[in-house]
Amino acid sequence: MYAGERIIVDADSHVMETAAFLTDHADPDVRDRLPSMTGGRTGLDLAAGSHTDDERDALVALGDELIKRGPKWHAALGGVDPAERSTALDLLGFRHQVVFSSLCAPLFSIADPVLRQGA
């Protein structure tokens, strides 16, 4: 186990928002006016992340090497699937995570306060 006997709180974990994340969860009164979620300058593939059983097994088999050799962002083990996220935390031995948004930070700069609040 990567953590060994240490208690590790992962303080830089991220929610991997999908392209429909905002419209699926935002206030219905502003849904049609929300900006599109894209990979932006990063070129992230927001559709990545669903793993077949074989892909999931191969990632789990990486064991302690998951952090170094496994895919990142949406394609990571647990990037978009909460059950996989639990598996990854257990595999690495992390006790907790502090989770941040990956793509939603620009929403705070929306000028219209009603739209910003709804987003």
* Per-residue model confidence as pLDDT tens digits over 82-91: 888 888 888 8
E strands, the chain, in order? 8-15, 94-101
* pLDDT grade for 59, boundaries at 50, 70 and 90: very high
Structure tokens at 24: 């699926």
For residue 29, the SS3 value is coil
Q: What is the mean pLDDT of the chain?
A: 84
How far, CA to CA in Å, does 37 sit from each of 13, 65, 100? 19, 31, 16
**16 pLDDT higher than 70:** yes
Show Cβ contacts of residue 118 under 8 Å, excluding neighbours closer than 6 positions.
26, 27, 29, 30, 31, 34
Task: Write down the domain spans for the chain.
Answer: 8-118
The burial class, CB within 10 Å (0-12 / 13-18 / 19+), for 91 is buried
Q: Tell me what the mean pLDDT of segment 42-56 comes to.
A: 81
CB 94 within 8 A of CB 6: no
Query: Percentage of the chain surpassing pLDDT 90?
Result: 14
* pLDDT grade for 45, boundaries at 50, 70 and 90: confident
Structure tokens at 111: 């000028």
pTM (2 decimals)?
0.68
* pLDDT grade for 41, boundaries at 50, 70 and 90: low
* pLDDT grade for 62, boundaries at 50, 70 and 90: very high
Structure tokens at 59: 């990632």
Structure tokens at 54: 């074989």
